[in-house]
């Protein structure tokens, strides 16, 4: 076994060289770093590094097994294996300044698109983006009246580690780094309550005369899933400056979209305590949606504006002039923040607590800039205690969590439990006694109403087509999720309410 560990070390070094993470001149240094981290002495060095086409996770697995057997891991669980393998990978990687210099050199020589593509590949090669786990996600397109929505069952995030959870209770609380998005995560060794980040690298970006940083999400949901974070800890806030920053970003990175989660609970994202945006190289279903009603904004005759044909309430602005877009978006935000329409259960605040905000998304289409402004409201009621404009109880079996930026744009990120639940439904639904079997199965009983409704609507449902029909139905349910989150519904009365808002706010 000891001979094998030395063989794996050489494979790891070869991998680093082949992926251009590690210059040949640094191999001896990196080998010694690996030996130290593994508690080994003199290596068994071959004359040349071995040829290997193995992916990084296959090279690391035997090393982690050996480390566990030799007491180098606190426990042989996903959490502690991740902490240790990141420490090993760090020995192969260039310093952050080198990565930054290379990124901007590529920007100058080949352009931003080539630079971000190379940086994305680096993050995958460095195992920051764990491609083996991303591959576990299940995805499909679901046809709907709003086009094909994108459905993903998220299987890439490891399940909660009970050993790490127990250990975390014994660890003294720490506020360093200040959350998962703090720039100080670069190089951080991690702990049971915080992932290791020695393989994280950030690219500086100037937005609105402020220092921001770009990285990729370790759990990518689409191509080049980027996160742009402010250099300091401050709460999410949608203001006029937000539109300035988003539009500046798509002027620098013309091949990317960028958007922000809303800044209020329920309608915002999962991290509201650190100002950040998400972007990337992907065209979401909402971006493909047409306008269902065009209008001209007062004071902005050169801006093409309209209401998007979408289950949520979206105003789209388009212009070649970013400054005019920023001003118009600011006017809409200001009007929406104070707008109420009791006939549609829309109230701007309750006892001084604000409810209205916006989820904005920016794009650059060959010099024509687009801003999508999604109107949000986070009010709760007795009938809907989790949120009136939030997934209602009848769809909680599919989606109960907040509808953030990614879902708003038409990509459903659904919980991993659904994979097994849909498989069990597919097994029992074609049966004559499907209702009884569903009721008796605790895992799928929550799906009973919509699943049996599907069976009734599809008399041709069989074991051969049930899986495809279930996937289509999940798409329909996700459409309902988005509709619940829309403040002005895609109905005649909803459209009338939308126009009423624009007129009463003196926007048109």
In this model, does residue 66 exceed pLDDT 90?
yes
Residues near 108 by beta carbon (within 8 Å), at least 6 away in sequence? none
* pLDDT tens per residue, range 389-398: 999 999 999 9
In this model, does residue 44 exceed pLDDT 90?
no
Phi, psi at 167, each rounded to 5°: -65, -35
With CA atoms as reference, report the closest residue to 205 among 229, 239, 187.
229
Could you tell me the sign of the dihedral formed by the alpha carbons of 120, 122, 128, 131, in that order? positive
pLDDT at position 343:
96
pLDDT band, very low/low/confident/very high, at 160 (cuts 50, 70, 90): low
Mean pLDDT over 275-283 rounds to 97
Which is more confidently placed, 401 or 244? 244
Name the 3-class secondary structure at 108: helix
pLDDT at position 488:
98
* pLDDT tens per residue, range 494-503: 999 999 999 9
How far apart, in whole angstroms, are the C-alpha atoms of residue 450 and residue 437?
15
Mean pLDDT over 486-508 rounds to 97
- 158-193 burial code (b ≥16 CB/10 A, e <16): eeebeebeebeeeeeeeeebebbbbbebbebebebe
172 token code pair: 């003294």
Provide the H-helix boundaries in 215-273: 240-252
> In angstroms, what is the C-alpha Rg of the chain?
25
149 token code pair: 């929505």
How far apart, in whole angstroms, are the C-alpha atoms of residue 247 and residue 321?
10
């Amino acid at each position: 076994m000891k001979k094998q560990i030395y063989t794996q070390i050489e494979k790891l070094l070869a991998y680093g060289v082949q992926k251009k993470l590690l210059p040949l001149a640094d191999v001896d240094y990196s080998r010694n770093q690996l030996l130290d981290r593994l508690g080994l002495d003199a290596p068994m060095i071959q004359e040349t590094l071995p040829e290997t086409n193995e992916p990084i996770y296959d090279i690391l697995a035997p090393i982690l097994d050996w480390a566990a057997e030799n007491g180098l891991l606190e426990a042989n669980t996903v959490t502690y294996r991740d902490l240790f393998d990141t420490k090993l990978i760090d020995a192969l990687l260039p310093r952050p300044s080198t990565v930054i210099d290379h990124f901007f050199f590529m920007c100058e020589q080949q352009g931003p698109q080539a630079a971000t593509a190379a940086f994305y590949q680096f993050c995958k090669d460095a195992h920051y983006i764990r491609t083996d786990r991303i591959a576990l996600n299940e995805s499909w397109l679901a046809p709907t009246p709003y086009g094909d929505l994108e459905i993903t069952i998220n299987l890439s995030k490891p399940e909660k580690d009970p050993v790490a959870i127990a250990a975390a209770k014994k660890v003294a609380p720490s506020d360093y780094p200040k959350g998962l998005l703090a720039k100080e995560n670069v190089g951080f060794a991690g702990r049971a309550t915080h992932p290791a980040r020695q393989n994280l690298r950030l690219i500086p970006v100037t937005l609105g005369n402020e220092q921001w940083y770009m990285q990729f999400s370790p759990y990518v949901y689409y191509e080049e899933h980027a996160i742009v974070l402010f250099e300091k800890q401050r709460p999410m806030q949608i203001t006029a400056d937000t539109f300035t920053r988003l539009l500046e970003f798509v002027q620098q990175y013309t091949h990317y979209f960028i958007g922000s989660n809303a800044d209020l609970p329920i309608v915002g994202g999962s991290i509201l305590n650190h100002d950040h945006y998400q972007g990337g190289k992907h065209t979401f279903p909402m971006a493909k949606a047409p306008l269902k009603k065009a209008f001209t904004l007062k004071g902005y005759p050169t801006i093409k504006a309209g209401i998007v044909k979408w289950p949520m309430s979206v105003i789209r602005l388009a212009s070649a002039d970013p400054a005019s877009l920023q001003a118009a978006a600011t006017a809409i935000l200001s009007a929406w923040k104070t707008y109420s329409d009791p006939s549609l259960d829309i109230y701007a605040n309750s006892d001084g607590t604000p409810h209205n905000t916006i989820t904005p998304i920016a794009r650059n289409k060959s010099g024509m800039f687009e801003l999508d402004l999604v109107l949000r409201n986070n009010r709760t009621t007795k009938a809907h205690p989790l949120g009136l404009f939030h997934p209602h109880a009848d769809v909680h079996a599919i989606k109960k969590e907040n509808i953030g930026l990614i879902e708003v744009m038409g990509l459903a990120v659904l919980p991993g439990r659904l994979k097994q639940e849909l498989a069990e439904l597919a097994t029992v639904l074609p049966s004559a006694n499907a209702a009884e079997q569903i009721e008796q199965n605790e895992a799928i009983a929550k799906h009973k109403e919509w699943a049996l409704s599907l069976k009734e609507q599809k008399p041709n449902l069989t074991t051969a087509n049930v899986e495809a029909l279930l996937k289509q139905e999940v798409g329909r349910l996700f459409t309902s999720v988005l509709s619940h989150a829309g403040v002005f519904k895609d109905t005649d009365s909803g459209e009338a309410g939308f126009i009423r808002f624009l007129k009463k706010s003196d926007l048109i």
